[in-house]
A and B are shown apart, each in its own frame.
Chain A
Amino acid sequence: MPSLKDLRNRIGSVKKTQKITSAMKMVAAAKLRRAQEQAEAARPYAERMERVLGSLAESLQGRDGAPPLLAGTGRDQTVLLVVMTSDRGLCGGFNSSIVRRARALIRELQKKGKTIKILCVGRKGRDQLRRDYGALIVETIDEVGRPVLTYEDARRVRSRIMELFEAGEFDMCTLLYNEFRSAISQIVTELQLIPFAVAPTEEEEAQPAASEGASAVYEFEPDEEEILADLLPRNVSVQIFRALLESNASEQGARMTAMDNATRNAGEMIDKLTLNYNRSRQAQITKELIEIISGAEAV
């Protein structure tokens, strides 16, 4: 049976924790709103980029001498995994769900005899992956998006990936990040970055025949190859930027939810402890009264 003083102390400490978690929730909510706006604002660029690139890739299909970013290196032996996590913890299952997926993916690819290399964006992913796959981690990029995520951050990640690619360090590159759905749901997404995979757009799926005719007649200025050579690296950074934004919004969403839960749990705990405290206080008063009364009777 803890003493009254112990109980009082515990209530005090839980209350302080609750204050911290509710402040963190508030901060995350404010950051989330900004991150969400940013992610939504960046969507048009990425979408249009994909559309242009899609029609370009289509008109170049089957031609020799396509740049390696589009056609790949011709092998698929070495895979670079870019794992996007946060720098800070206390955001629920945000980081562990990414890491879990990364582990599953690594196991699967290793079974096929592929060589894996890992590039961590964010400290938390590195910390968790280091235990099992420390030897595979090529590099960690942290402090991304501090204080505000900009296109520069994406360029930083891009230039590291491109350096590795040009040095022939890997053949394929896959991004692994949390896609933002809502504050309570984030979806772990895999995106093949290199070589460029033409994703069928919704329009094309709906009416494949019509779009084939429409996209085949583009004129190019200068020519296809030159535009493609310029566009592909840009596309890489745009995709990275989008992934970073999604990941950032997801992180804040996950943190907000986690901190909301923590605040609620702390509230419940305070209620329980207060009840306990009052009970023991009354028990003690009763005990003291009995002592006084029986003492008076004895006289």
Chain B
Amino acid sequence: MADYPEKVDFELVAPERLLVSRTVDMVVVPGSEGDFGVLPGHTPLISSVRAGVIDVYDENTVDERIFVSGGFAEVTGERCTVLAPEAVPVSEIDRGEVEARIKRAREDIEDAADAAERSAAEDRLRLAEAMLAHAP
């Protein structure tokens, strides 16, 4: 293990831009099969990510908490890359706005013309609810 660095390069990327790129002690990622922590020297892993919060640990404290709407994580011994369609720092989640989103999604489910529209609206509802659960 000696040849692994002491820290992990953590990157969080959204389609529109690179959100976070920094070196940290540990990252806890909400994987679809359960949360997993990434320390230096982790086994190479590709996992899907469910909607939830990524905890970034640095200097023995939780340094940053970021809500992601899903996506993928690629882990190697040196780095951890998370690809997420949407990501917001937990401190910036706006309760009112999320509640409005839930309401809109509920309305969309009722007005949905076909199955595809309905399931898209249901996805939006689930996402907004997950977001609300983590809102400050």
Stretch among A9-17, A23-31, A69-77, A220-228 lining the B interface: A220-228
- CA of A55 to CA of B46 in the docked complex: distance in angstroms? 10
Across-interface contacts of A174 in B (CB, < 8 A): none
Across-interface contacts of A56 in B (CB, < 8 A): 46
CB-nearest residue of chain B to A46: B15
Across-interface contacts of B47 in A (CB, < 8 A): 220-222, 227
Check if B48 is an interface residue, CB within 8 A of chain A: yes
What's the tally of chain A residues with a CB closer than 8 Å to chain B?
Answer: 28
Across-interface contacts of B46 in A (CB, < 8 A): 52, 55-56, 218-221, 227
- How many A-B Cβ pairs are below 8 Å? 73
Q: Is the interface of B mostly helix, strand, loop or mixed?
A: strand
What's the tally of chain B residues with a CB closer than 8 Å to chain A?
Answer: 22
Return A40 CB to nearest CB of chain B, in Å: 9
> For B11, B17, B46, B83, which residue has the most chain A Cβ atoms within 10 angstroms?
B46
Return A94 CB to nearest CB of chain B, in Å: 24
Return A109 CB to nearest CB of chain B, in Å: 31
Check if B18 is an interface residue, CB within 8 A of chain A: yes
User: Is there contact, CB below 8 Å, between B72 and A227?
Assistant: yes
User: Is there contact, CB below 8 Å, between A44 and B32?
Assistant: no
B contact residues vs A (CB 8 Å cutoff) = 11, 13-18, 31-33, 43-48, 72, 74, 76, 81, 83, 85
A contact residues vs B (CB 8 Å cutoff) = 38, 41-42, 44-45, 48-49, 51-52, 55-56, 150-151, 154, 214, 217-222, 226-227, 230-231, 234, 238, 241
Interchain residue pairs with CB less than 8 A apart (7): A38-B16, A44-B18, A45-B13, A45-B83, A48-B13, A218-B45, A231-B72
Ordered nearest first, which 10 A-B pairs have the shortest CB separation?
A41-B17, A221-B47, A44-B18, A45-B13, A219-B45, A218-B44, A151-B15, A52-B74, A45-B15, A221-B33
